[in-house]
Amino acid sequence: MSLLDIPIISRIRRNHGLEHASVTLLSSQKPSLALSGISFPSGFYILGDIDTETLRAAVFMALNRMQNGERGLAVHPNCGTNFVTSGILAGFLAWLAMLGVKGRRDKVNRLPLVISLVTLAFIYSRPLGPLIQERITTSGEPAGLHIVDIYPIKLGNFTLHRVVTAD
């Protein structure tokens, strides 16, 4: 059994995939809609200006489409995995470029190298982030996942929706 097959990790990955698929469908219906989400073993939260019934329809449709083979819906261009991948690569290369530098003048002299390496990190991380999503942080295979409930939580002017799932 791989680490990704551990039940709690598998559940998070499948919920993360369903979260992305739901946001993808909502974004195609309403391109100016700003949404964010976070996944857990028992489901996920969606934060954004969306009514519960519209979200419910999108979540059920997303699950149905994933069950019918649309595994690619699990990968989203604005996933935090993409940003973390870029940040880790850029930070590591910046650190590497500054190894052995002691004085302020040497740091300034090394700056063009740091900028070049960080730029390369962002270029090469663009395809790497979605690949990491596909293989590690999400799953496009919902298996026995089903939706238990979806309910809104009002937070001042914001609405947070809790999507509860189970196997």
Q: What residue spans define the domains of the chain?
A: 3-78+138-166, 80-133
* Residues counted in the chain: 167
pTM for this prediction: 0.90
Q: How far apart (Å, rounded) are the C-alpha atoms in residues 115 and 142?
A: 41
Residues 142 and 66: beta-carbon distance below 8 Å: yes
For residue range 93-118, what is the model confidence (pLDDT) as tens digits? 999 999 999 999 999 999 999 999 99
Residue ranges for the chain with pLDDT beneath 50: none
Q: How high is the pLDDT of residue 159?
A: 86
Residues 162 and 153: beta-carbon distance below 8 Å: yes
Is domain 3-78+138-166 annotated with CATH 1.10.510? no
Q: How high is the pLDDT of residue 120?
A: 95
Q: How high is the pLDDT of residue 51?
A: 92
Q: How high is the pLDDT of residue 158?
A: 84
Q: How high is the pLDDT of residue 16?
A: 98
